[in-house]
Structure 1
Amino acid sequence: MTVETQPTVIIAGMGPVGMTAALALALKGIPVTILETGDDLATESRASTFHPPSLEILKDLGVVDELMESGLKAPGFQYRGHNRELIAHLDMALLENDTEFPFRIQNEQGTLTRIIRRHLEEMPHVTLRYGAPVERVEMGRNCAYVFLPGDGREPSYRADWLIGTDGAGSAVRQSLGIAFEGVTYPERFLVASTTHDFLDDFDDLAYVSYVYDPDDWGVLLRTPQHWRVLFPIDEDESDEAAQHPDRIEERLQGVIALDEPYPVAHSTIYKVHQRLAATFGQGRVLLAGDAAHINNPLGGMGMNSGIHDAHAAVEAISFALAGGDPTQAVETYARVRYDAAAVDVQKNTQKNYEEMRQQDDKERSERKNEMADIAADPVRAREYLLGTSMISSFEKSSRRMRDGLAQANETSPPVPSLQLDARTAS
């Protein structure tokens, strides 16, 4: 079907990134249609950590209070060693002069999407369409044509702008021929959710705790309903063996030995990638979230960087709709958010991965001592927290977006790209 009244913006995907972008656009009075492949919002347990800049964005959208009411406030996080001994506790109260939210909120991403949906459903210029997977996208003159299965040769929609937030397997990205470059880790990750409360087993356990262990590194993460435990899976262990109840029990008993079996609510296995789209913008199409970049989950930066993408994408589109140069808007967004993903997110998540699985005893000991020293020094700890909380990354990205769009308004050269190497990545 060809829609007669064309929406101004189409968003592919109703995950946290797409829904954040939709609400931001709708609050500006911009008509938006959101297309979702599934028959409803996703329910699987995935990202669950919200960093301070994301909370600031969600406050501006009027939904942060609802997210916080149903979530858990994590005022800090920890690094623990082989015997689960405390190495360092990072107190996010040190950021109280840097953000209104000097903490993390632990809540499922599905909670956020449902909160946002309730707001969108009350807006007359918003259309939510389920069972509507994007099959392909074609470029038009100053528009994008969106094709859904079964609608024939005519486009289902002609969009002034399209934001692709349709995940790592993005049909939007693939149909435009945009490469998705990077690597797949040899390990897979097992995530097991248990209703056992680890607070009963450890003194002063933080809701987010990273375990440095050369043989069995991982993460303990509290959500409103469960403790989630992340384990790496060796290359030679099959998915079936790794997810067998006896094997999951063995892994959980390795965290802390109990006299009775662990109550396991659910488990999942997934491959881990570090990948970047060759470009985050083409024509009138912007890529955001997993459609543009995916990385390992250590540090909780994936969903958050996607929410930051959404914020920047709406800024770029709003600039163009207000009369700014659309080409410069796309180029600024694509360059700035690519750099943020490559320099700030992927560099840090890769560093986390390498440090947590460090095999060399000397290197591991030095890193543990360094982390203890950082945690004990308020100045160094604050600087460290500005990075791990994504405050530095978001502030830099926001500044570069503003500068780039201002330069576009003045028909001056756009904001230069960052040099993606070790000399400038720090």
Structure 2
Amino acid sequence: MTEQKPVLIAGAGPVGLVAAASLVKQGIPVVVLEAGPTISTEMRASTFHAPTLDMLDDLGAAEAMIAQGIIGPRVQYRARDQSLIAEFDFRVLADVTRHPYRLQCEQFKLTRILHELMSKNPLYDIRFNARVENAIDHGEHVEAVLEDGTRIAGAYLIGADGAHSAVRKAAGIAFEGFTWPERFLVLSTEFDFASIIPGLADVSYYADPEEWFFLLRVPGVWRAMFPVRAEVSDEEVMTEAFARARFARVVEGRCDYPIKHTTLYRVHQRVAETFCRGRLLLVGDAAHINNPLGGMGLNGGVHDAVNLVEKLVPVLRGEADDAVLSLYDRQRRGVTVEHVQRQTIVNKQNLEARDPVAHQAFRDRMASTAADPAKAHAYLLGMSMINSLRRAAEIV
């Protein structure tokens, strides 16, 4: 290699550690700078799509993930009265992926698995309580400036430090987009909804003009997400009474679900104006954020990390000019705008459609697509993000 300094990675979340594992696998030393005192235990994202599992399999992490998660071969669209609008089976994608299903598994399990896989590798250095507050691109190398003033030199700095990325801000990269007026409420319960909803899939989206929602099963609990109107205060939303009222709308006559977790957050649709500027590079939430309908945020971040490493390794080895990194920007930013942002916005609009004609058109379209094997296969290529990866590969 012509460059001996390690690659610095801000953030030890799933995307940052995928980038680290991908680089270490290619013999590149990394220093991961994590703001927290240890690997995070936050649940947060929990859906892993087929091509993401293929990538994790290449890193040696998929088997342990699958053992700790729930394989979800089906996804459903339902109406508020529990009638089935459409059902899709990911197993039809067995011709294009080694993992024809969704895996439901909390993201902290992936970070622990990747950390353990790399823990004994001398190329892997992780430092906790090391929040990156600034970054300086010196042209031939970069420096990460930590909260305590410590400066750490590296060949490149990958910002995997979330929506409020210090790396993105240091690079002067705008984060363009908008914030949805409503907030999203995530509730989890140990109650098994499948025991009272016949045939319920592990991932089910409910289209309803009054209040859409979705149910998603992860090990030990069901998670439900509901929109919350802007005029409702945070204090009211976080009460047990509000949570029980939301759950009561899932199945009429039931409101006795034990509530294990409650999370309320604002939802944004934003994309960085560029994913790379000099030696400062962005992946995951530092580069793009979107609403969670479709489970595309975390998966898109993993796809970013794998794509970036494919471009960065030849540069570090002196086999390619760093201009190749602009191809990473074109490919990943391109598909983020074309596919991820557009699809997640459409997903939300479909579920919440208030106009009776639009609502019925969505139901008819979903039913027709699910009933036609060719259309269903094509639809699942998009839902599983295989199409977005194919599109990225076409961009030169």
- TM-score, with length taken from structure 2: 0.97
CA contact (8 A) 1:165 1:291 kept: yes
1:108-128 residue CA offsets vs partner (Å, 9 max, x unmatched) = 000000001101111011101
Offset of residue 285 of structure 1: 1.6
Which residue of the other structure, out of 87, 90, 100, is the alignment partner of 1:89?
Answer: 87
The match for 2:244 is 249
Tell me whether 322-331 or 201-210 shows the greater mean CA deviation.
322-331
Alignment of 1:386-397 (within 5 A): 386-397=381-392
Q: How far apart, CA to CA, are the structure 2 residues paired with 1:227 and 1:125?
A: 39
User: Which amino acid in 2 is paired with 1:331?
Assistant: S
1:54-91 residue CA offsets vs partner (Å, 9 max, x unmatched) = 00100100110000001100001000012121100011
1:274-327 residue CA offsets vs partner (Å, 9 max, x unmatched) = 000011001012100000000000000000000000001111111212324443
Alignment of 1:256-267 (within 5 A): 256-257=251-252, 261-267=256-262
Offset of residue 139 of structure 1: 1.1
Offset of residue 260 of structure 1: 6.2
1:222 is paired with a residue whose SS is strand
The match for 2:364 is 369
Which residue of the other structure, out of 219, 227, 244, is the alignment partner of 1:224?
Answer: 219
Q: How far apart, CA to CA, are the structure 1 residues paired with 2:71 and 2:360?
A: 31
The match for 2:38 is 40
Q: Does 1:234 align with 2:229?
A: yes
Structure 1 residues 283, 98: closer, same or farther in 2, change over 3 A? same
The match for 2:99 is 101
2:95 is paired with a residue whose SS is coil
Offset of residue 249 of structure 1: 0.5
The match for 1:275 is 270
Q: How far apart, CA to CA, are the structure 2 residues paired with 1:264 and 1:85?
A: 25
Q: How far apart, CA to CA, are the structure 2 residues paired with 1:46 and 1:326?
A: 37
Tell me whether 169-178 or 256-265 shows the greater mean CA deviation.
256-265
1:18-38 residue CA offsets vs partner (Å, 9 max, x unmatched) = 010101111111110101000
Q: How far apart, CA to CA, are the structure 1 residues paired with 2:373 and 2:62?
A: 28
Structure 2 gaps, min length 5: none
1:147-206 residue CA offsets vs partner (Å, 9 max, x unmatched) = 112236xxx112111110000000000111110000000010000000000010111111
- TM-score, with length taken from structure 1: 0.90
Q: How far apart, CA to CA, are the structure 2 residues paired with 1:138 and 1:151?
A: 13
User: Which amino acid in 2 is paired with 1:124?
Assistant: P
Offset of residue 134 of structure 1: 0.3
1:105 is paired with a residue whose SS is strand
Structure 1 residues 288, 362: closer, same or farther in 2, change over 3 A? same
How many residue pairs get aligned? The number is 394
Q: Does 1:312 align with 2:310?
A: no
1:319-368 residue CA offsets vs partner (Å, 9 max, x unmatched) = 21232444312211111110011111001000001111100011101110
1:182 is paired with a residue whose SS is strand
**Identity of matched residues, %:** 43
Structure 1 gaps, min length 5: 401-414, 416-426
Structure 1 residues 398, 57: closer, same or farther in 2, change over 3 A? farther
Offset of residue 144 of structure 1: 1.4
CA contact (8 A) 1:283 1:330 kept: no
Q: How far apart, CA to CA, are the structure 2 residues paired with 1:374 and 1:208?
A: 18
User: Which amino acid in 1 is paired with 2:124?
Assistant: V
The match for 2:346 is 351
Q: How far apart, CA to CA, are the structure 2 residues paired with 1:353 and 1:35?
A: 35
Q: How far apart, CA to CA, are the structure 1 residues paired with 2:57 and 2:394?
A: 19
1:135 is paired with a residue whose SS is strand
Which residue of the other structure, out of 198, 206, 209, is the alignment partner of 1:203?
Answer: 198
2:249 is paired with a residue whose SS is helix
Alignment of 1:9-24 (within 5 A): 9-24=7-22
User: Which amino acid in 2 is paired with 1:49?
Assistant: T
Offset of residue 15 of structure 1: 0.6
Alignment of 1:24-423 (within 5 A): 24-151=22-149, 156-257=151-252, 261-400=256-395, 415=396
The match for 1:406 is none
Q: How far apart, CA to CA, are the structure 2 residues paired with 1:374 and 1:150?
A: 56
Q: How far apart, CA to CA, are the structure 2 residues paired with 1:237 and 1:260?
A: 21
User: Which amino acid in 1 is paired with 2:159?
Assistant: G
User: Which amino acid in 2 is paired with 1:89?
Assistant: E
Q: How far apart, CA to CA, are the structure 2 residues paired with 1:326 and 1:84?
A: 56
User: Which amino acid in 2 is paired with 1:231?
Assistant: F
CA contact (8 A) 2:171 2:280 kept: no
2:27 is paired with a residue whose SS is coil
Offset of residue 253 of structure 1: 1.1
CA contact (8 A) 2:247 2:255 kept: no
